[in-house]
Every structure is written in C-alpha cells, then in structure tokens.
Amino acid sequence: MTKKASSSSKETDSKPDNDKFVWTRKDLVGLDELSAEEIVHILDTAQSFQEVSTRSIKKVPALRGKVVALLFFEDSTRTRMSFELAASRLSADTVFLSGKGSSTSKGETTLDTVRNVEAMGVDAFVIRHSQSGAPHLLQDKVNVPIINAGDGQHEHPTQALLDIFTIRQKLGTLEGVRVAIVGDIAHSRVARSNILGLKKLGAEVVVVGPPTLVPSTITAMGCEVSNSLDDILDQVDVINMLRIQFERFASNLFPSVREYSSLFGMNSKRLAKCRKNVLIMHPGPINRGVELTSDVADGPNSCILQQVTNGLAVRMAVLYLVSRGRE
Amino acid sequence: MIDILITNGRVIDPASGRDEIANVAISNGFVTKIGRAAPKAHQTIDASEMIVSPGLIDLHAHCREPGHEEEETIATAAASAVAGGFSTICAMPNTHPPQDDETSILYVLQRMARAGKARVLPAGCITKQREGKELAEMGMMLEAGAVAFTDDGTGVASTIVMQRALQYAKMIGVVLMQHCQDPDLFGGVMNSGAVAVRLGLPGIAASGEEIMLRRDLELVKRTGARYHAMHLSSAGSVEIIRQAKAEGLPVTAEAAPHHLLLTDAACMGYDPNYKMNPPLRSASDVEALRLGVADGTIDCLATDHAPHAQEEKEMEFALAPFGIVSLDCALGLYTKALIHSGLMDWPEMLARLTVNPAKIIAPTLGLLQKDAPADITIIDPKKRWTVNVNKFASKGRNCPYHGWKLKSKAVTTIVGGEVKFQL
C-alpha cells in the first residue's frame, strides 16, 4: 500500500516524465524500426501507467477529448479489449470497426476505409489486419498516428512489448537473458516482434519447432534455430510458447496435434528439466494440453496472466506516446 | 526517290555482324540499300552519333485486351512499344477471355492493324482457357497468325498434357514458351528467403521454377519440340539451360529487366511495384542471370510488361497483382544492366533484342539488311533521361523505375518503313 501511495502521488498529473527522452514517432508499426532507447522508453512509460489500474477510479485524463479508432480488419477479442480498456483508462473515446460486416467485405480497399474513418476526425488508429504490411501501406497516406495491433505474419509490436515488459519485471533486465520461442515461428507475428525487440535489448533468442514451421533463414534476424525442445530446456531463462493454429495441421505442416504436443508441448516432465526459475509465457489463447499442459499453464513458473495485465499498461503507454508525441 | 534515308548512323546488324557508319535507304516498307550512297529521299533522318539497329523485339508483353482495357489496350501497348524502341511485341494470351482460339488471334491482329504502331504478334494458349487440361487448337491458331504458344501466368502443370503439347508443337513446327512454376510449390508472393521471413510474407522458392524446367527438358529430349523458357529468375535455372544447350536441345530462354537489376531486398517497404512472378530474387541470382545473358545461355531480353490499374497496386502486398510495366524504359534498363556494367557491347546486346527473338517467333524480322522489312530503331546511346511513369505511352503506372536516371534511349522507331515514333 505504501508503495502504491508513493507512486500515485508522483503520477497524479498523469504525465510520466521518465528520463529526458522525447518521443517523436507518429506511428508504432513495428519493433523493427525502434531503437533500444525507444523500446525502453515505452517500457518505462508503461511502468508509470501500471499504477492507474490499481486505483479505485481507473482513469487518468491524459487523452480526454481524443478519439481512438480501433480498426479490426481481422478478428480479435483480447487485443481489442486490451486496447479499448487502455484507451478508456486514458479517457479517450473509442470507435470500433470490424472487418466483417464493414465496407471491406463490400469490396472497399483498406486504404479507402481508413481514409474514410480519418475524414470523420479521429486522433489515432489501432489497426489489426490479416495482411502483412497493411500498416505500412497506410502509414504514409494518413496523417493520424497508426498503432499496429498485429499485421498478418509480420509484427505484433504491443504483444512483444508486453512480453518484454513481463520479462524485465520478473528478471530485472533483458541483458544476457536467453529466451526460447517455441512453435509456429513461420506464421507468427508475435515471434518476429519478440525476436527484434529482445535482440535490441541484449537478450539472446532461440526459436524452436519443426523445420516446416521454422524457416532456416530466420537466423538472419539474429536468432538461433533449434528443432528440439528437449535440447534447449536447460539453457534458457524464458520459454514463450506460441499458440498453434489448427489450420496449419490442415495444410499438412505437421502430422498431428498429438505429435506436435509430444515433441513441442510443455509439460511437467519437461519443466523439471528446465532452470528452476524459468518463466513460462504464452501470448494466448492457450490450447490446453497442446502447447502447455494445465499444470504448467497454472503453475508457479507461469506468468501468462501477468502478461495480460501488463498488456494494458503497455498499450496505455503506446497510445499515450503516439497521440501526444507530436504535440 | 526513296522514302526514307537514315544518314551517318552506326549501323549494327547482329545477324550479319555488320557494325559500321553507313546510310540506310528505305522504300516501300523494305530496306533497299545500306552503304555510302545517299540517294534523294522524301525524308532524311540524321543519325550521326546514333546507333541504327534492327527494330527491337519483345517476346513477352501483356496487352490486357480483351478484358482489361482499363489497364492497357493493344493500341496503348503498341504505342508504349514504339516509344521504347520496340517495333515488335509478342502479346501474351492471358487475356479475358484468353487467346485460345482462331477468333481471338484474329482479334489481336485486327486491333494491331487499327492501332498502326508496333507489330503485335499474338501468342496463343497451349491449353483451352489456360486451364492446363485440354490442348487448345494450336494448328488453327497458327494458321490465323499466332507465333508461339504459352499458358503464361501459369506453367502447364500436368506432365502428360505438356508432353502432348510438345508433340503437337513439334508436328506443326512452333515453339512452346513455358512460365516455369510448379503449382505445388507456389502460393507465395515474393522470393523465399530471409527478406520474406522478416516481412512475414509467404515465399516462392526458386526450386518451383527449376523443377518444372527440368521436367520440361526431359520432355523436350523425348519430343524434339522447340522450347522457350520465359523470364528466368534463378541462378539454378540459368545453369539448367546452360547444360541443356550443351546437350544440344532446341532450347531458348529469356530474362526480364527487373531480374537483371533488382533483388528481393526491394520488397522491404511492402511496395507492390516490386511484386512480380517470378519474384525478384537474390543478388547472386541477378549476377548469374547477367552472366547467362552475357555468355548466350539466355538468348533474349524480354520485358514481361504487365500493366495493372493503380488502385490494384495500392493494396496490401499479398493482395496486389503480380507484374510491372517497362516497355517505355526497357532499353535504358538493359543498357544499365548489361553494357554499363561492362558485360557486353552494343552489337551483343542488340542481338538479344533483335535477331535472337526473331528466330524464335518471326525469322523474317530482326534483320537490318537489304530486302529485309524496314523495322528499324535509332538509338541515342548517350542520351541521359529520367524515367517518369506519367509520361509513359502505356496506361500502366505500376513501375518501380520511376525517377531512375538512365542513359540511352530510342529516338526513332520505324515499323514497316513508316516512322511510328520520333522523340
């Protein structure tokens, strides 16, 4: 309680002023273009916002009068809720557009849809899209800040930021931390953003999965590749288990969910071979019994729910920074 | 009095090896004399400091008509061709409906005549509707004026269909031109590799091109038919063709300007003007293709001119269509890739743009000799200019070379003894 009181007194004006760093970016489309300094600035800003969620009135006036448009051309529940809540805690209004039932299903291009919403007068876009590069397409053509909430198989920067935030919270640093990312790396925007962000902050990354789901050329992004989960268990501080998409099974990229789980699933037997304080992470939603058995998902090494909580603070930070960045 | 006299140009005829300063006399659509004489002419064109070449021939252009006249028409493609120095282009049959019967071939020829610019020689489909199932009426299309057959846009996937097509092509003495791509290994939108992985875009591996090429060459061995491999994109394909030629197979190949100049790294900004099929590959592929052109493994330079509406290219990378336009600026691009890089001289490059493609589809063309049809391109090899897509004669603006500074340009294009373009 005392800790909370002290931090809240510092934050009452809702203007986090960590170090002297000045955020200048209009958009957050990926971690690829961010410097280590910028990433740390987002994490620090998120940390200062975390306290807001513990207040009885969970709101600061930082973005009062601003409108955040959530354009979800691809379905999402938790990322959408997290962004909506984050916006609401900053006192912004939100409008929501989903890909289904919108004009995109009537043949309007993404660019036209976004330009139309911009013409209505909004202050920021949060965009989720099934196509890699969709935010890049829009970036130079709209004047309003764009936050990428996941584009195809390319990047999901806020997810990686919350993963990194969680690791920093638990381990105190990213420097020298070894992180394994396990699963369908080829089709994962979470994996790409994590690799980019973790490397920039000095962590080491090994991606793990069958060769049909782990492209060998991903080493160009600075990570290692392993096709054996068992081989790396005792070498890492963090294991981030990616959700397996069942449609990959349909496209014959692995023989069966059962076999996938036996080779690349995390269970108590495998956990016993890990470092004692290994962090078990998952971007959710979990397929219980596939990527993780329930005892691991709910066990003491799991920080899966903390990731979700931290996601809110990270998204508040990102919304705050891009909306206020150019003022 | 003759019709046209081109004076004092460096006359290059790759077929005969002529390369000298001379005058070229044209009458009634034919070259009547090449030499020192300067007969009186209705029109005299001073070609001092210029190269006088046989008209350039492009084996691979998409004219979009019928079906997508908003993207290009036979008339605009032909205008784009002559503006780029091409007196002849081969029209790909992946129109809507496709050029897969006699009537559709006659339609292209009629439109070409009406446009009155470049020669637009139609290719017909190998299979009906380009579906890869039933053979199209190649014999009747040939009678109507088709000069080659291809299902370009896709390769003929079925081995037995391809074998029969080659047998048939052998019988009627035509060339089959294949877009080599195994459909099982397709599904991507750019080259497989580190860039695609980083961008989260599905890849198209070079193996998909090479596997179909190898299969086809086995069939060529068995049937003896003439075979032309379109727009090669990989080092492996160049080597496969090199070996096939060493074995004496009746095989030719082409390369497109983008594969000689650009790599998949250009896709980093998700600009669909770098999306083509086959895709841009690595720097070592570019190098191998250039060397393949230089040593003659790749016989021809072909644009794969592929116009698309601007709104289609303002889409998400994976949703945008494949292809770019380049007829207007191809000559400068080839010069940059092959001459300015020191790989070859003008006569060698012009062979790959004139007599070599002519041998494949129209052997009477591609020559700058007495009694040959007067298809002539006058090139200013020192002309410096900046590519501006908004000045293209083509309707297409989907072109990654906008703003590029090039050196060398066609200044006059003569087709059948008539000046069709003059800068």
Question: Would you state the torsion angle of the CA atoms of residues B156, B159, B160, B166, taken in this order, to the nearest 10 degrees?
Answer: 60
B315 in A contact zone (CB under 8 Å): yes
Could you give the C-alpha distances from B236 to A125, B166, B174, B249, B290, in angstroms and in order?
45, 23, 26, 18, 13
Tell which residue, B335, B283, B333, B282, has the closest CA to residue B303.
B333
Q: Does A225 touch chain B (CB under 8 A)?
A: no
A314 and chain B in contact, CB less than 8 A: no
The verdict on a CB contact (< 8 Å) between A151 and B197 is no
Q: Which residues contact A60 (CB under 8 A, 6 or more apart)?
A: A11, A14, A49, A52, A89, A90, A91
Coil, helix or strand at residue B30: strand
Q: What is the CATH number of domain A157-307?
A: 3.40.50.1370
B328 annotated active-site: no
Domain boundaries of chain A, sorted by first residue = 2-154+309-324, 157-307
Task: Please give the residue of chain A at the shortest CA–CA distance from B268.
Answer: A133
A88 contact partners, CB below 8 Å, separation of at least 6: A59, A94
What is the pLDDT averaged over residues A115-141?
94
Q: Look at residue A326 in the predicted model and tell me its pLDDT.
A: 56
For an interface test with B, the pick among A132, A142, A190 (most B C-beta atoms closer than 10 Å) comes out as A132
Distance from CA of B312 to the nearest CA of A (A): 9
Q: Is the pLDDT of residue A66 over 50?
A: yes
Nearest chain B residue (CA) to A215: B197
How many Å apart are CA B337 and CA A279, to the nearest integer?
A: 53
Pairing of strands B418-422, B405-415: antiparallel
A156: contact with B, CB 8 A cutoff = no
At A164-201, the pLDDT tens digits run 999 999 999 999 999 999 999 999 999 999 999 999 99
Residue A1 reports pLDDT greater than 60: no
**Looking at the predicted structure, is the pLDDT value of residue A107 above 80?**
no
- DSSP 8-state assignment for residue B55: P
Mean pLDDT lowest among A137-146, A249-258, B121-130, B275-284:
A249-258
Mean pLDDT over all residues of chain A?
Answer: 90
What proportion of chain A, given as a percentage, has pLDDT over 70? 91
Q: Is B308 in contact with B286 (CB distance < 8 Å)?
A: no
What pLDDT is attached to residue A105? 55
Please report the pLDDT score of residue A103 as a whole number.
Answer: 55
B184 touches A at CB < 8 Å: no
Per-residue pLDDT of B145-197, as tens digits, reads: 999 999 999 999 999 999 999 999 999 999 999 999 999 999 899 999 999 99
User: What pLDDT was estimated at residue A54?
Assistant: 86
Q: Please, which pLDDT band fits residue B243 given cuts at 50, 70 and 90?
A: very high
In angstroms, the CA B300 to CA B416 distance is: 22
The answer, yes or no, to whether residue A39 has pLDDT greater than 60, is yes
**DSSP helix, strand, coil percent of chain B (3-state; round to 5):** 35, 25, 40
Read off the pLDDT of residues A243-284 as tens digits, 9 standing for 90 and up.
Answer: 998 777 778 899 999 999 999 999 999 999 999 999 999 999
Give the best residue of A32, A108, A136 to mutate against chain B (max B CB count within 10 A): A136
Residue A4 has pLDDT above 50, yes or no: no
Note whether B314 contacts A111, CB cutoff 8 Å: yes
Rounded CA Rg of chain B = 20
Residue A214 at interface with chain B, using a CB cutoff of 8 Å = no
Three-class DSSP category at B114: helix
pLDDT tens readout for residues A205-231? 999 999 999 999 999 999 999 999 999
What would the pLDDT profile of A8-28 be if each residue is shown by its tens digit? 444 444 455 555 788 999 999
Mean pLDDT, chain B, whole residue set: 97
> Is A153 in contact with B311 (Cβ distance < 8 A)?
no
Confidence check: pLDDT of B285 > 90: yes
- CATH annotation of B55-361: 3.20.20.140
A110 chain-B contacts, CB cut-off 8 A: 315-316
B198 touches chain A (CB under 8 A): yes
How are beta strands A238-241 and B51-54 bridged, if at all?
Answer: unpaired
Q: What is the pLDDT of residues B95-125, one digit of tens each?
A: 999 999 999 999 999 999 999 999 999 999 9
Q: What is the pLDDT of residues B11-27, one digit of tens each?
A: 999 999 999 999 999 99
Statement: residue A104 has pLDDT above 90: no
B24: helix, coil or strand?
A: strand
Query: What is the pLDDT at residue A100?
Result: 64
When the candidates are 3.30.870.10, 3.90.1150.10, 3.40.50.1370, 3.10.180.10, the CATH number that belongs to A2-154+309-324 is 3.40.50.1370
* For testing contact with chain B, the best of A155, A217, A251 (most B CBs within 10 A): A217
* pLDDT on residue A6: 40
CB contact under 8 A, B319 and A217: no
Chain B hits for A217, Cβ within 8 Å: 192-194, 197
Q: Is A152 in contact with B318 (Cβ distance < 8 A)? A: yes
Q: In chain A, whose CA is at the least distance from the CA of B272?
A: A137
Residue of A nearest to B319 (CA): A131
Question: Can you give the three-state secondary structure of chain A, one letter per residue?
Answer: CHHHHHHHHHHCCCCCCCCCCCCCCCCECCCCCCCHHHHHHHHHHHHHHHHHHHCCCCCCCCCCCCEEEEEECCCCCHHHHHHHHHHHHCCCEEEEEECCCCHHHHCCCHHHHHHHHHHCCCCEEEEEECCCCHHHHHHCCCCCCEEEEEECCCECHHHHHHHHHHHHHHHCCCCCCEEEEECCCCCCHHHHHHHHHHHHCCCEEEEECCCCCCCHHHHHHCCEEECCHHHHHHHCCEEEECCCCHHHHHCCCCCCHHHHHHHHCECHHHHHCCCCCCEEECCCCCCECCCECHHHHCCCCECHHHHHHHHHHHHHHHHHHHHHCCC
pLDDT at A11: 42
B190 Cβ under 8 Å from any chain A Cβ: no
pLDDT band at residue B346 under the 50/70/90 scheme: very high
Q: How confident is the model at residue A325 (pLDDT cuts 50, 70, 90)?
A: low
Catalytic residue, chosen from B13, B304, B328, B380, is B304
Distance from CA of B415 to the nearest CA of A (A): 42
Asked if A126 contacts A76 with a C-beta cutoff of 8 angstroms, the reply is no
User: What are the extents of the domains in chain B?
Assistant: 2-51+373-422, 55-361
H helical segments located in B101-206: 102-115, 138-144, 159-172, 194-199
Instruction: Check CB contact of A200 with chain B, cutoff 8 Å.
Output: no
Identify the CATH number of the domain defined by range B2-51+373-422.
Answer: 2.30.40.10
A285 or A324: which leads in pLDDT = A285
**Using CA atoms, how far apart are residues B376 and A15, in angstroms rounded to an integer?**
73
